[in-house]
Amino acid sequence: MTTIREPAVAGMFYPSIPAVLNRDVEQLLKEAKPRTLDGHLKALICPHAGYVYSGSTAAMGYKLLSSLEFDSVVIVGPSHREYFHGITVFPGDAYRTPLGDVAIDIALREELLKHSKEITLSQLGHRSEHAIEVQLPFLQKVLRKFSFLPIVIGDQRRANCEALADALAKSIGTRNVLLVASSDLSHYHTHDEAVRLDRRVMKEVESFNPDGLMDRLERQEVEACGGGPMVSVMKAAQYLGANRSSVLQYCTSGDITGERDAVVGYLSVALVKVN
């Protein structure tokens, strides 16, 4: 029996009508003009809010994939609605979006589960979560053919982030896999305060310092709902040879709506291996 994870936020975070979603994502990608990066792209950090707010920032990262091919994509996200210990991998066969089904990379999933007892097969964190789902329509538009692995961190403590990073690096090895960390930054501060907080995150990201970012998260000096996924993906990318981090775009929801009293920060980053 095939198990498909149905869309949870289609019609809310992005259009539910396939033709409209296809048009909107194509337009976001057309308008995105990231600078050319040297080296081999290993990972992205992308926001996960509604497309009207963070779609342009996400598109800056995904536009880089237009001329690339990956056999598989690993998306690591936080759990907004369910708290649980450890890390979960979706146990089914595919995630569905209005643009079609994206198959789970079963072989990579089985390999990953061998490397950490903190990683388990479970629907926890996947059922109503949007952080992974909203990334998929972009990937469906820019990659010709790919499977993927959705991973949700329930408890974003340091040990779990480090365990996941290590397990990902060991599982991926020489496979042609893209890593994606799904995260927004600060929430519901004034625009100026959000920028101040988010610059601290960007400082650690630009210097490719996942341990420094983890330190700041633990001291509550910064905010990122997907801080753990960011740390895990940055560390895994480093293990896989990435040595340069490039911020592609930063903005707040206030830059989009003009309302600056209570905003959310969005960041798009590329992690690259440069010889």
For 61-104, the pLDDT digits (tens) are 999 999 999 999 999 999 999 999 999 999 999 999 999 999 99
What pLDDT, in 10s, does the model give residues 159-171?
999 999 999 999 9
DSSP assigned state of 64:
G
Provide the residue ranges of all domains of the chain, joining segments of one domain with +: 4-273
Ranges of the chain whose pLDDT falls below 50: none
Residue 13 in contact with residue 134, Cβ under 8 Å? yes
Tell whether the torsion through CA atoms of 91, 133, 8 and 225 is positive or negative.
positive
The pLDDT score that the predictor gives to residue 1 is 76
C-alpha of 18 from chain center: 22
Half-sphere exposure of 118 (CA within 13 A, CB side): 22
How many Å apart are CA 229 and CA 153, to the nearest integer? 7
Q: Which pTM does this prediction carry? A: 0.97
> pLDDT by residue (tens digit) across 203-213?
999 999 999 99
What CATH number labels 4-273?
Answer: 3.40.830.10
Quote the pLDDT of residue 275: 86
